[in-house]
Amino acid sequence: MRGELTLSSQKSSVSFSVQEMIQAKKQKKNANASIEKLMPIILLLTAAVSVLTTLGIVLTLIVETFTFFGKVSVIEFLTAQKWYPFSSTQGSYGVLPLVMGTLKVTIIAAIVAVPIGLASAIFLSEYASDKTRRIIKPILEVLAGIPTIVYGFFALTFVTPILREWIPSLEIFNALSPGIVIGIMITPMIASLSEDAMSSVPNSMREGALALGSTKLEVSFKVVLPAAISGIIASIVLAVSRAIGETMIVAVAGGSTPSMNWDVTSSIQTMTAYIVQVSQGDAGYGTTIYYSIYAVGFTLFLFTLLMNLFAQFISRRFREEY
């Protein structure tokens, strides 16, 4: 009799524990379902914040730029070859000297960064062992984490004195020194993205070329490089757009003299450097000079936008599917 009671109590205890487990599982399932319904809303809100922020920036640039063009002719802004906004008389607002300074620095940076970045990418992708790649690539990418103001003082206090030993006519503030340092700064971007593009090329293509008698160098330049060309060009375009928008290096080492010549040994001023100069308080709120920074900023925005669109077009146009 006592054994039957014990068995009965055990069965009821087991039944009760199973019911608790079923109830707990239902509650967990309901909680998971609630989270599944909530997450798309949270993700949508975060995406909306980024989109609305971009729209707000663009809208601010457009509105303030139109205010500037209410005071200065668009034709003068686009065609005049002098930029003297701080003139005691009526200033001149031709953006071409600022564009010229930006292009000089960008071209020098590209000349430095593209060969070094591509050579580094080819070595990491085709020649380096896994151990070497794991050591070198993080060290190379550390360059991207150095603050640009540090690069600026490096260009002014280290690179410029060395260059003046070779080029006596080089001024303290010039286009050559910041251009070289910007090239060093964007090299990791080209190297890393290009190496990723080359690594995605199937090994079967390399093995087939080697089986036909190609050397390692021929495989790198005639097989891997053409196969990864879309990613390589996209990395170069993105790096160049980064160089166009660089601020502190040119503000510290480039000077503040807008000019329309191609002389890289003299002082220049880029679009970003001018924005920094005015933003430091050289112009009062509501003045023509104040609104000019928005016009210059909008011009810079168009430059970088076109570069990014070009990079996307290249990526889609020449992308290889494996």
- Least confidently predicted of 10-14, 44-48, 150-154, 267-271: 10-14
Topology of domain 79-317 in CATH is MetI-like fold (1.10.3720)
pLDDT interval class at 5 (50, 70, 90)? very low
317 sits in which H/E element: helix 288-317
93 sits in which H/E element: strand 92-93
Instruction: List the chain domain ranges.
Output: 1-69, 79-317
Whether the per-residue pLDDT at 136 is higher than 80: the answer is yes
> What's the per-residue H, E or C state across 243-294?
HHCCCHHHHHHCCCCCCCCCCCCCCCCCHHHHHHHHHHHHCCCCCHHHHHHH
Cα–Cα distance between 124 and 20 in angstroms, integer? 58
Residue type at position 168: P
pLDDT in tens, 213-232: 888 888 888 888 888 888 88
pLDDT in tens, 22-78: 666 666 666 666 777 787 888 888 888 888 888 888 888 888 888 888 888 888 888
Mean pLDDT score, 78-105: 82
pTM: 0.81
pLDDT in tens, 240-266: 888 888 888 888 888 888 888 888 888
